[in-house]
Chain A
Amino acid sequence: MNKNLLLALVLAITASLAHAQTLRIGLAEDPDILDPTLARSFVGRIVFASLCDKLFDIDEKLNIVPQLATAYQWSADSKSLTMKLRSGVTFHDGEKFNAAAVKFNIERHKNLAGSNRRGELSPVTSVDVIDELTARINLSAPFSPLLSVLADRAGMMVSPKAAQAANFGVKPVCSGPFRFVERIAQDRIVLERYQNYWNKGEIHFDKVVFQPIVDATVRLANLRSGQLDFIERVAPSDIAAIKSDNKLAISRITELGYQGITINVAKSDLGQKNPLGRDPRVREAFELSLDRAGLVQVAMDGESEPGNQWVSPSNGYYAKNNPMPKRDVARAKALLKEAGVTNPSFTLMTPTTSDGQRVAQVVQAMAKEAGFDVKIQSTEFATSLNLADKGQFDAYVLAWSGRADPDGNLFSFYGCKQPLNYHGMCKPQWDELLDRSRSTLDHATRLKLFEQLAAEIAKERPIIYLFHRHWLWAYNKKLSGMRAIPDGLVRVQGLKM
């Protein structure tokens, strides 16, 4: 009997020790390919944050901070960026990280068939290896978003030797705090601590296991039953339940992206057939009919920050000359009268996500009071993207996950013929302001240019921004050192149980 008790005790202690060394993270989706060059999903970036170090990182305030590059300097004409690289860094296969590896990686991002990084790095013309630990990136024109691009997947460095293998993404080799062990599609991704990590003092887990669990309720149930230590994207409606559980903690931070309504103005003939696409006064009336704070309260349980621009009001690049308009139904009605439109009717396409549907319903009810007849068309996401691309819509509820530099929320959406320009408007002034904002490195000058752009865009309003969601994380209270970075990715450095 005593022997059994002792055995049970030893087993229990061993089990609890083993337990404490593994960090189990619940993801909202199964990531796509784990190759930084080819990867396309947001959720994949959460895994990369433990697996692949980048040249730079961002901090809580969106400042660029060193990671694999310890220092950088722009040339006088801003057309080249020289980086000093961290010494003593190795990839998970033991290969050395150096300037040649940087050159290899940037060239791979630019040239690999199907690369999703090529667009982000399009101004990069070449990479020079100055010495073992100095690399220079040359640009065709000054490109201020470059640092923040290198603080994301385009700045992730993989082992040049391992990257020669076909299907590298099935067994990625990087230089991050954890190395890849196994992936069972839709079940788990297992990483283990890399013993030679350059910053290993900050790593306090032996293993990280990522488990995709699509249903938010089930994800939370796993956290509450102790099977997971951390879950991302908690449903706003579950916040009250988490608060009442004294074993759990919540983190929230405003996302870099936004939720908005894109209006078909010139994407296809359909745009000009509808008063909403035809007349900016009707779009202004539509915007004035909406109460963003009310919308956030009803559709998102208050878990979002109302906003009227591509960045949130708390962002350093928010254009203060274009403040958030208050709801004004009388003014909206007057504008509609001025435009000679009574009871304008349009279809609001929304993906079948619960967020999207709730937003559409609240918008429908609010706009009705100003005389709008909004018909909701719930469409499966893949289909809605296709319809948007073909211009077969009047208005489209669309979310964007956001980038650290405002350029990532702007260029592709307002630039003429850019891939995410679903409203279809081409304005030479917009293109010129966008180009100028890319070519200067000075924050104040860029902010001025964004203010000018905001003023120009406000005359047309092809995208009505609604709010910026909160990244909602829930985790075991014993987990300390959690850093809430606006990109919504979990930094494992400093995390402790």
Chain B
Amino acid sequence: MLHYLLKRLAAIVPTIFFVTIIIFGLQQLLPGDPAVILAGEDQDPNVIAYLQKKMHLDEPLPVRYGYWIAGVVHGDLGESLRIQQPVLGLIEEKLPVTLELAVIAMLIALVIGIPAGIVSAVGKDTVWDYAANVIALWGLSTPNFWLGILMILLFSVSLGWLPASGYVSPFEDLQANLAAMIMPAFVLGNAIAAVLMRHTRSAMLQVLNADYVRTARAKGLDERSVVLKHALRNALTPIITLGALEFGTLLSGAVLTEQVFSIPGFGKLIVDAVFNRDYAVVQGVVLFTSSVYIVLNLLADLAYFLVNPRLRG
């Protein structure tokens, strides 16, 4: 276990290094001079020249990469030139917002997706199975932004139950926080619930036909413990991997949802930064997200050990 853990940890360093090169390289492919867009509509040549110098755009690519990576190593991700705030500070400010959104969305997805998958597998080819499949298909095929706007029109404008957009910190007012989060979290979790349901269903179907499940039934165990204790536990392994990967998807899915609901999170931060060519913010946020992704994958691998004793040997 320890050996495995060390091996996986050692692999993280070159992976992240490789990621920094990709991020920096991809950013150079963005068309348009960032100084030109940051200079605003006046396009004052003095301002453009000043911004180019400040962003080291007048220096060769490897030197610019050097400046950035030197800062990253020292924990300095640079400063947003558009609003003069340090990128790390922006991440600290926005990350909890998106994390909260993602966690609630994931909870919604799990609460809907896994039970629906179990019901659908246990009652294969019954009306429950068909209903769950239809709902899953709907969840997968509904565009986030469309569902978001429809929900705003229904719950905020027509019924007046929930705020149309915006964010309140849970430390300021927990009730207002949840009221602001429930719609975006549902919109975001909805598609993941569908994916989880489909995977739970197929994993469960496979396990339910396995010999040991037949043996368990033959031993006279009641169906409830066969399904929940014996079948589900084994079926959960691929679902945990999927959950970890989908959590990363949630972070990127938050981009659109945050835009629709005007939630000041990671997604909105990066969208605005890309359109404003705020390079330091784009690089910082993408690097951070990639690192989170890498760590989550590592955690998923470790989780296998915990749920599947055969891997421990």
Q: Do A and B come from one complex?
A: yes
Give the interface of A toward B (CB within 8 A): 30, 32-33, 35, 38, 40-42, 113-116, 118-119, 167, 169-170, 184-188, 211-215, 217-218, 221-222, 224-227, 380-383, 385-386, 389, 400-401, 412, 419-420
Contact, CB under 8 Å: A116 / B42: yes
**Contact status of A41 and B40, CB under 8 A, knowing A33-B82, A169-B84:** yes
Contact, CB under 8 Å: A185 / B37: no
Query: What are 10 A-B residue pairs whose CB atoms fall within 8 Å in the complex?
Result: A32-B276, A116-B44, A187-B166, A215-B260, A221-B153, A221-B156, A385-B32, A385-B36, A386-B32, A419-B45
Name the residue of chain B whose CB is nearest to the CB of A417. B45
**Contact status of A218 and B40, CB under 8 A, knowing A184-B93, A224-B157:** no
- Min CB–CB distance A289 → chain B (angstroms): 28
- Min CB–CB distance B37 → chain A (angstroms): 4
> Which residues of B sit under 8 angstroms from A32, Cβ to Cβ?
40, 82-83, 276
> Which residues of B sit under 8 angstroms from A167, Cβ to Cβ?
84-85
- Min CB–CB distance A467 → chain B (angstroms): 18
**Does chain A have a CB within 8 A of B240?**
no
Out of A40, A215, A227, A383, which one reaches B166, CB within 8 Å? A227
**Does chain A have a CB within 8 A of B264?**
yes
Name the residue of chain B whose CB is nearest to the CB of A421. B43
**Does chain A have a CB within 8 A of B269?**
yes
CA distance A188 to B165 in the complex (A): 12
| Stretch in contact with the other chain, from B6-14, B47-55, B199-207, B290-298 | B47-55
Known: A118-B44, A169-B83. 11 other contacts (CB 8 A): A40-B40, A185-B94, A186-B269, A212-B262, A213-B165, A217-B149, A221-B156, A221-B157, A221-B165, A227-B165, A385-B36
Q: In B26-65, which residues have CB < 8 Å from any A CB?
A: 31-34, 36-47, 50-51, 54
- Min CB–CB distance A403 → chain B (angstroms): 10
Contact, CB under 8 Å: A170 / B47: no
> Which residues of B sit under 8 angstroms from A386, Cβ to Cβ?
31-33, 36-37
> Which residues of B sit under 8 angstroms from A115, Cβ to Cβ?
46-47
> Which residues of A sit under 8 angstroms from B44, Cβ to Cβ?
116, 118-119, 419
Name the residue of chain A whose CB is nearest to the CB of B46. A118
CA distance A389 to B41 in the complex (A): 12
Q: In B257-295, which residues have CB < 8 Å from any A CB?
A: 259-262, 264, 268-269, 272, 275-277
- Min CB–CB distance B55 → chain A (angstroms): 11
Out of B37, B40, B45, B262, which one reaches A214, CB within 8 Å? B262
- Min CB–CB distance B187 → chain A (angstroms): 13
Name the residue of chain B whose CB is nearest to the CB of A184. B264
> Which residues of A sit under 8 angstroms from B115, Cβ to Cβ?
none
**Contact status of A222 and B165, CB under 8 A, knowing A32-B40, A113-B50:** yes
- Min CB–CB distance B266 → chain A (angstroms): 10
Q: Interface readout for B148-171 with A: 1 if CB under 8 Å, 0 if not?
A: 010011001100100111110000
> Which residues of A sit under 8 angstroms from B262, Cβ to Cβ?
187, 211-215, 218
CA distance A211 to B94 in the complex (A): 16
- Min CB–CB distance B82 → chain A (angstroms): 5
- Min CB–CB distance B175 → chain A (angstroms): 14
> Which residues of A sit under 8 angstroms from B47, Cβ to Cβ?
40, 114-116, 118
> Which residues of A sit under 8 angstroms from B103, Cβ to Cβ?
none
Contact, CB under 8 Å: B82 / A218: no
- Min CB–CB distance A377 → chain B (angstroms): 13
Contact, CB under 8 Å: A119 / B42: yes
Contact, CB under 8 Å: A33 / B83: yes
- Min CB–CB distance A355 → chain B (angstroms): 15
CA distance A214 to B159 in the complex (A): 23
Give the interface of B toward A (CB within 8 A): 31-34, 36-47, 50-51, 54, 80, 82-85, 90, 93-94, 149, 152-153, 156-157, 160, 163-167, 259-262, 264, 268-269, 272, 275-277
Out of B43, B94, B268, which one reaches A420, CB within 8 Å? B43
Contact, CB under 8 Å: B37 / A187: no
> Which residues of A sit under 8 angstroms from B272, Cβ to Cβ?
30, 186
CA distance A381 to B33 in the complex (A): 11
Number of A-B contacts (CB under 8 A): 145
- Min CB–CB distance A364 → chain B (angstroms): 24
> Which residues of B sit under 8 angstroms from A389, Cβ to Cβ?
33, 36, 43
CA distance A319 to B47 in the complex (A): 33
CA distance A385 to B43 in the complex (A): 10
- Min CB–CB distance B283 → chain A (angstroms): 16
CA distance A187 to B167 in the complex (A): 7
> Which residues of A sit under 8 angstroms from B83, Cβ to Cβ?
32-33, 169-170, 185
CA distance A256 to B265 in the complex (A): 35
CA distance A383 to B34 in the complex (A): 10
Name the residue of chain B whose CB is nearest to the CB of A212. B262
**Contact status of A116 and B264, CB under 8 A, knowing A185-B85, A224-B157, A419-B45:** no
Out of B31, B160, B167, B269, which one reaches A383, CB within 8 Å? B31
CA distance A388 to B34 in the complex (A): 14
Q: Which 7 A-B pairs have the closest CB atoms?
A: A40-B40, A187-B264, A382-B32, A419-B43, A382-B37, A386-B32, A383-B31
Contact, CB under 8 Å: B51 / A114: yes
> Which residues of B sit under 8 angstroms from A119, Cβ to Cβ?
42, 44, 46
Contact, CB under 8 Å: A185 / B163: no
> Which residues of A sit under 8 angstroms from B84, Cβ to Cβ?
33, 35, 38, 167, 169-170
> Which residues of A sit under 8 angstroms from B31, Cβ to Cβ?
380, 382-383, 386
Out of A33, A40, A211, A227, which one reaches B42, CB within 8 Å? A40
CA distance A401 to B40 in the complex (A): 11
CA distance A218 to B43 in the complex (A): 31
Interface centre among A30, A212, A225 (most CB of B within 10 A): A225
Contact, CB under 8 Å: B149 / A218: yes
**Contact status of A382 and B275, CB under 8 A, knowing A186-B268, A187-B166:** yes
Contact, CB under 8 Å: B163 / A225: yes
> Which residues of B sit under 8 angstroms from A420, Cβ to Cβ?
42-43
- Min CB–CB distance B256 → chain A (angstroms): 11
> Which residues of A sit under 8 angstroms from B157, Cβ to Cβ?
221, 224-225
Contact, CB under 8 Å: B165 / A385: no
- Min CB–CB distance A309 → chain B (angstroms): 19
Contact, CB under 8 Å: B36 / A225: no
- Min CB–CB distance B221 → chain A (angstroms): 52
Interface centre among B32, B85, B149, B260 (most CB of A within 10 A): B32
Contact, CB under 8 Å: B90 / A225: no
Out of B50, B85, B164, B264, which one reaches A218, CB within 8 Å? B164
